[in-house]
């Protein structure tokens, strides 16, 4: 797959007009106690084991997030046993196809990044369409950072920009697949700073971080939960956050605050089921996720694993508008970066 750095100006315009808006969705106000319902309160009861398919290997950002959410109270809200199944490979398409082939009963859920969900249908030949899914909720805007490993030539943004000016080959950056948000965010933000980005795709965030630690790539773009322990140990150095989250858990500046607001690439995760799942089941799932994501104790527990819960969208109409807007934006990105497979 080819990647076109010369198209950055078009890309930045696309982001400033469309994609950046997904990071500015107003946070849901704290509901009154009576507004938070559970499946049981809606006279709906899950009776069988539920499976949540994560299309990455264990240890990546999506995997850590959904497991943290389950421990924070989601399992209790659902009222049934829940298994997380890691189905990596194929730029998340293998996991998606497994869910699409499962019974449409609401007991098989799919969790993926916004980029993979919305870019994949536009990168590959008919893997699925937006209409194949019913979207339950976002999990909030997520911290996504660029960090350097042992072979990184620069440990600060200023040093990185200077290095990029003197080295036409730029830097190598590990990502969780070409269609993943980590690839798009790294390419866009580094391009904004004038640093050529040579993307190296891996089968998930955990593998890309391991490659960075092993010196196979100089940098990695990954979530805070994936790299935090390495940064604390001093084996990796976080440089910047790729959106507008200056209050991120690793205390680094956002790309917006560094003066490149047009390059900000907000990152959120989506939970979905297939299109034929009954509406009462969908609403019961939405109520369970909503109850946990709006519970202060659950939010605090999520924060312990570097999972911030901010700007969650689960109102069906708002969610539909967000997905349609960002689908169009990612279509522009896929076309501009020539990522069609």
Q: Identify whether residues 125 and 271 lie together within a single domain.
A: yes
If you search the block for the tokens 């979530």, which residue do you land on?
A: 223
Q: Identify whether residues 124 and 150 lie together within a single domain.
A: no
In this predicted structure, the answer to whether residue 230 has a pLDDT above a threshold of 90 is yes
Q: Identify whether residues 127 and 38 lie together within a single domain.
A: yes
Q: Identify whether residues 241 and 294 lie together within a single domain.
A: no
Q: Check which CATH number belongs to the domain holding 324 and give it.
A: 3.40.190.150
What domain range is 188 assigned to? Answer: 144-263
pLDDT at 331: 82
Q: Check which CATH number belongs to the domain holding 150 and give it.
A: 3.40.190.10
Angle value at C-alpha 20, between 15 and 24, nearest 5 degrees:
165
Q: Identify whether residues 254 and 276 lie together within a single domain.
A: no
- Based on the structure, what is the number of domains in the chain? 2
Describe the crossing of helices 181-192 and 8-17 by its angle, rounded to 10 degrees.
110
Last residue of a domain, one of 234, 263, 292: 263
Q: Of 8-22, 191-205, 244-258, which range is least confident?
A: 8-22
Q: Of 6-20, 61-75, 82-96, which range is least confident?
A: 6-20
**CA distances in angstroms from 334 to 7, 116, 211, 270, 331, listed in the order given:** 11, 11, 26, 19, 5
In this predicted structure, the answer to whether residue 170 has a pLDDT above a threshold of 90 is yes
Last residue of a domain, one of 210, 232, 263: 263
58 lies in some domain: yes
CB of 55 within 8 A of CB of 115?
A: no
Q: Identify whether residues 276 and 248 lie together within a single domain.
A: no
Last residue of a domain, one of 236, 263, 290: 263
Q: What is the pLDDT of residues 24-83, one digit of tens each?
A: 443 343 433 434 445 545 568 899 999 999 998 888 888 988 999 999 999 999 999 999
11 lies in some domain: no
Q: Identify whether residues 81 and 160 lie together within a single domain.
A: no
321 contacts: CB under 8 Å, gap ≥ 6: none
d(Cα 5, Cα 336) in Å, to the nearest integer?
9
More confident residue, 229 or 91: 229
Closest CA to 110 of 274, 255, 266: 274
More confident residue, 41 or 242: 242
Convert 64-114 into a string of H (helix), E (strand) and C (coil): HHHHHHHHHHHHHHHCCCEEEEECCCHHHHHHHHHHHCCCCCCCEEEEEEH
């Amino acid at each position: 797959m080819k990647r076109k750095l010369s198209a950055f100006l078009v890309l930045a315009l696309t982001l400033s007009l469309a994609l950046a808006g997904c990071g500015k969705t107003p946070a849901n106000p704290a509901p009154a106690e009576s507004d938070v319902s559970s499946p049981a309160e809606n006279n709906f009861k899950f009776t069988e084991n539920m499976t949540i398919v994560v299309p990455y290997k264990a240890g990546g950002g999506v995997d850590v997030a959904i497991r943290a959410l389950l421990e924070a109270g989601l399992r209790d809200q659902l009222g049934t046993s829940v298994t997380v199944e890691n189905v990596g490979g194929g730029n998340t398409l293998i996991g998606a196809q497994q869910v699409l082939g499962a019974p449409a009963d609401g007991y098989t859920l799919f969790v993926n990044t916004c980029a993979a969900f919305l870019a994949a249908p536009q990168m590959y030949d008919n893997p699925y369409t937006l209409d194949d899914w019913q979207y339950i909720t976002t999990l909030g805007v997520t911290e996504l950072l660029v960090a350097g490993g042992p072979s990184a030539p620069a440990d600060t943004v200023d040093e990185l920009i200077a290095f990029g000016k003197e080295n036409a080959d730029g830097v190598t950056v590990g990502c969780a697949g070409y269609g993943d948000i980590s690839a798009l965010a790294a390419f866009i933000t580094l391009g904004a700073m004038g640093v050529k980005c040579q993307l190296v795709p891996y089968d998930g965030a955990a593998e890309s971080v391991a490659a960075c630690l092993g010196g196979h790539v100089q940098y990695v773009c990954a979530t805070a939960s994936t790299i935090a322990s390495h940064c604390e140990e001093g084996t990796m150095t976080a440089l910047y956050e790729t959106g507008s989250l200056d209050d991120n858990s690793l205390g680094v500046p956002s790309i917006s605050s560094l003066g490149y607001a047009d390059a900000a690439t907000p990152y959120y995760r989506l939970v979905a089921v297939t299109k034929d799942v009954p509406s009462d089941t969908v609403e019961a799932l939405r109520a369970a996720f909503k109850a946990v994501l709006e519970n202060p104790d659950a939010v605090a527990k999520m924060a312990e694993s570097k999972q911030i819960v901010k700007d969650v969208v689960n109102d069906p109409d708002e969610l539909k508008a967000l997905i349609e807007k960002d689908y169009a934006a990612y279509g522009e990105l896929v076309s501009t970066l020539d990522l069609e497979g």
